[in-house]
Structure 1
Amino acid sequence: MKRVRLVDVAEVAGVSTKTVSNVVHDYPHVAPELRRRVQAAIDKLGYRPNLTARRLVTGKTGMIALAIPEIDHPYFSELSRQIAEEAARRNYRVIIEQTLGKLEAEHAVLEDREAGLVDGIIFHPVSIGALSIAKLHHDTPLVLLGEGAMPATSDHVMIDNVAAAAEAVQFLLGQGRRRIAFLGVVEDDVTFSTDKRLLGYQQGLIEAGLDPDPGLVLSVQDFSSEASGEAVRAALERGVSIDGIVCRDDKFAAGALRACAAAGISVPDGIAVLGWDDTAIGKYTTPSLTSVAPDKSALASTALELLTERIDGFRGVGRHRIVPHGLTIRQSTPSVPSELPMPQGEPAVPSA
């Protein structure tokens, strides 16, 4: 099929190629009627701007890359949508790249593979270290997400995972739970998320005057719901006394709910289960799932704000931003006792 050119759009719209170019590049000083005619011609012909030519004219492609570990993980799927919607509000389109947390794939994100194709990159690293990012990151504007490497030269956006985990433990303690398990630790886990959430879990117990019990930190074979459910089942069969579970994510929590049901244990009466990420999973489990809720909208808007500032010429040192988190309360934990103090600045909000 013949490629539609700028001149073809101009001919159909009855305007100059300069006018078409002004509309394509969203210049403000175009009469509404001319803009309407040009847009109608663009839609009719299916014209798509040549990114290389656009970059030569404006210095920008209007595209950004989003590099995430797993496209099909509920948290990254929902966050990707938030970022794409926020990018669209800023007149950017998003290319999504999956790294699977593999070091070579994460290196490739930074080794100029996107040079000339995108104006900037939002990147959630898992395996790569801060020094490698500092060495490999050159000209393309970059914003990092997550709990991993935080080089001083790069912008970084995250929630406070340690504080969120401690607050989750305090929430369950406030309901009278004393045998709270952490689900869980995966062998060869290279992510920083688990480490920080486990640290916060221990912090919450210690601040309440309780000694963390290693027997309540459950080992999980892999990152699947099936494996997390198996870890809970095995613990219960060993006779481990558990009255609450803080899970590293909602997938693990879904496995925990299934294991409790299979063992004939009522949730939340017997064991309260608390997930993490507040994904759509939590609305449809039985019972519905209480979950730590990162503000995904704030993550997306803050990342795009920092990235567009970089694209527009900011060259300062890295800026590290902590965005809010909360707790979405559903049926897998009891309602909040009236005497339970909420974490400062982060009120728990009951949700259907």
Structure 2
Amino acid sequence: MGRVRLADVAAYAGVSMKTVSNVVHDYPHVKPEMRQRVQEAIDALGYRPNVTARRLATGRTGMVALAVPEIDHPYFSELSRRIAEHAASRGYRVLMEQTLSEPGAERAVLRDREEGLVDGVIFHPVSTTQSELARLSRDVPVVLLGEAAIPLTVDHVMIDNVAAAREATEHLLSLGARRPVFLAAVEGDVTVSTDRRLEGFQDALQAAGVRLPSSHVLTASDFSPQASSEAVNRALDAGLDFDAILCRDDQFAVGALSALHARGISVPDEIALVGWDDTALSRFAYPAITSVSPDKAALATSALDLLLERIGGFHGPGRHVITPHTLAIRESAPAVTEAARPL
């Protein structure tokens, strides 16, 4: 059987092609019984709208692109799912792109968005400069995620990484920690996230009057759990005395847990640990990891809602939205009332 056409659906349902088109494009004035009749025909025949024809008819494709650095990173995987689910509830499909933080791949995302495939782009830039973002054409709307400096002309959704890191560090200090380390500064890191989280870590220490040498910022060769484990082992081998760890993400937290367990070091009794992103890794590790928890649902809905407003014709200046975060308290750094650690 060849491709099912709009006319085939109309004939099967016994309605006009205009009625089928109204249902496909989700026009509100279609009567419920007629909408059900057409939808049953669509389902029975397996009709799929032609994206090119739809764009010619309506000026839209019904698709948006989501471009992230790594699709297999737990945080981006979980966020992507929420964006896709919210997009589906709004009648949109999501085209995924992975950039691996490479400048050429990120530029391709922004350049190719005008090829007619999508109506807009949600994009987490890493290597793209602020000046490049400021020069974006408004023909195809873009909403940005992440912590990079964003021009005033572009919509942007993020959490306050500095505040979140400060709160996580304050929690470790409330448990009696006085020699925490930050895990980790990464070699060749071009992201801004690590810098923001390290800034919050330092702010909390300064406010508490805790002075630590630069050796309490550990370094890692890359963003993998293996590199995190190696960083913790190097610190222990060097005799660094620390009693808590703030990790830049949950992957680093899992790597740190592995290293500490292999050394027979108890978490949280000897070293408390906080991760970041509140992914499945943190919830099912042993012990379960206390983790900074961005409101992924709010990130997803805010980004997509801003994008759909742009697609719908909004032409105002860039809107910068800071979504909530919390600290998901678990066994690796328990609530203060559960802690038995002396000051």
TM (norm. structure 2) is 0.96
2:316 — aligned with what?
316
1:180 — aligned with what?
180
Quick check: 85-94 or 319-328, which moved more?
A: 85-94
1:171 — aligned with what?
171
User: Structure 1: how far apart are the matches of 2:114 and 2:50?
Assistant: 16
Q: How many residues align?
A: 339
1:292 — aligned with what?
292
Deviation of residue 338 (structure 1)? 8.8
Post-superposition Cα deviations, 1:37-79, rounded to whole Å, max 9, x if no partner, equal 2111111211111112212222221111100000000000000
User: Structure 2: how far apart are the matches of 1:149 and 1:312?
Assistant: 26
Are 2:112 and 1:112 aligned? yes
Contact 1:122 1:145 in 2 (8 A): yes
Structure 1 runs (4+) deviating above 4 angstroms are none
Which one scores higher on RCO, CA 8 angstroms, separation ≥ 6? 2
Alignment of 1:197-236 (within 5 A): 197-236=197-236
C-alpha RMSD of matched pairs (Å): 1.4
1:349 — aligned with what?
none
Contact 1:4 1:47 in 2 (8 A): yes
1:73 — aligned with what?
73
Q: SS of the residue aligned with 2:274?
A: strand
Post-superposition Cα deviations, 1:291-350, rounded to whole Å, max 9, x if no partner, equal 0001111111111121111111111111111111110011101322399xxxxxxxxxxx
1:144 — aligned with what?
144
2:54 — aligned with what?
54
2:45 — aligned with what?
45
1:89 — aligned with what?
89
Q: SS of the residue aligned with 2:333?
A: coil
Quick check: 85-94 or 282-291, which moved more?
A: 85-94
2:306 — aligned with what?
306
Post-superposition Cα deviations, 1:160-213, rounded to whole Å, max 9, x if no partner, equal 101111111111111110010000011100010011111111111001111232
Contact 1:62 1:91 in 2 (8 A): yes
Deviation of residue 138 (structure 1)? 3.5
User: Structure 2: how far apart are the matches of 1:274 and 1:188?
Assistant: 24
Alignment of 1:264-279 (within 5 A): 264-279=264-279
1:26 — aligned with what?
26
User: Structure 2: how far apart are the matches of 1:253 and 1:137?
Assistant: 40
Contact 2:120 2:141 in 1 (8 A): yes
User: Structure 2: how far apart are the matches of 1:205 and 1:88?
Assistant: 44
Contact 1:169 1:204 in 2 (8 A): yes
Deviation of residue 30 (structure 1)? 2.1
Contact 1:115 1:140 in 2 (8 A): no
Amino acid at match of 2:190: V
Q: SS of the residue aligned with 2:140?
A: coil
1:348 — aligned with what?
none
Q: SS of the residue aligned with 2:259?
A: helix
1:337 — aligned with what?
337
Give ranges in structure 1 of 5+ residues lacking alignment.
340-352
User: Structure 1: how far apart are the matches of 2:187 and 2:149?
Assistant: 20
User: Structure 2: how far apart are the matches of 1:113 and 1:308?
Assistant: 15
User: Structure 1: how far apart are the matches of 2:305 and 2:6?
Assistant: 32
Give ranges in structure 2 of 5+ residues lacking alignment.
none
User: Structure 2: how far apart are the matches of 1:213 and 1:139?
Assistant: 50
Contact 2:230 2:259 in 1 (8 A): yes
User: Structure 1: how far apart are the matches of 2:318 and 2:289?
Assistant: 36
Deviation of residue 114 (structure 1)? 4.7
Deviation of residue 9 (structure 1)? 0.9
Q: SS of the residue aligned with 1:291?
A: strand
Are 2:253 and 1:253 aligned? yes
1:244 — aligned with what?
244
Percent identity, aligned pairs only, is: 64
Post-superposition Cα deviations, 1:250-282, rounded to whole Å, max 9, x if no partner, equal 000000001110111000000001000000001
User: Structure 2: how far apart are the matches of 1:108 and 1:138?
Assistant: 16
User: Structure 1: how far apart are the matches of 2:320 and 2:33?
Assistant: 45
